[in-house]
Amino acid sequence: MSVLVGKKAPKFSATAVVNGGEMVENFSLDQYLGKKHVVFYFYPADFTFVCPTEIIAFQDKMEEFDKRGVAVVGCSVDSGFSHWKWLQTEKKDGGIKGVKYPLVADNAMIISENYGVLAGEYDMNEDGESTFNGTPMAFRGLFLIDKEGTVQHQVVNNMPLGRSIDETLRMVDALQFFEENGEVCPADWHKGEKAMKATQEGVADYLGKK
């Protein structure tokens, strides 16, 4: 599994479903360069159990992401049609109807592999045949990408462990505060709290006032 923090986010062009039902080809994160921060996250599969709780939780917080100028994009190894079908399914039936942000189709598993979250790998058996070892799904990876396309934060959970959308927002606030003010954000920092200068004096001043 790779650490992408400090590196350019891997590029891709793929099918995605946007606005809750519009299938688009050649969807890319490049459209946000110079314009928006991006939260790009992976989930294992459509029509599962933990996944809809995360996907809907992101949608429920979209007003907060929009206020911060952040695009949210989800991705799994399912096809575009699978995404579309799930987006048309009512929540009471296990669906995610009402989700509007883009869901990318990575059915070739290349995007997941390039981001280092694929829960397995391709190999060759003794007969020279291509095989896949592991689970052909993505772990719950999340990447916060700045306007220049550089990954500033990543977290990867195993499949049973759902993520905190509030923590994602906290990391967005920390990154944007640093970009705007040049001060660094200490442990458990939240928007509106005191930050500190990245110097020994700054640390001493911060700790002395806690």
* Catalytic residue numbers, as ranges: 51
Q: Assess contact for 87 and 96: CB atoms under 8 A.
A: yes
Give the separation between CA 144 and CA 150, rounded to whole angstroms.
8
Query: What is the spatial distance between Cα 200 and Cα 145, in angstroms, rounded to a whole number?
Result: 29
Cα separation of the two ends of the chain:
37
Structure token pair of residue 124: 């060759």
Give the distance from CA 197 to its chain's centroid.
29
Q: Are strands 103-105 and 70-76 parallel, antiparallel or unpaired?
A: parallel
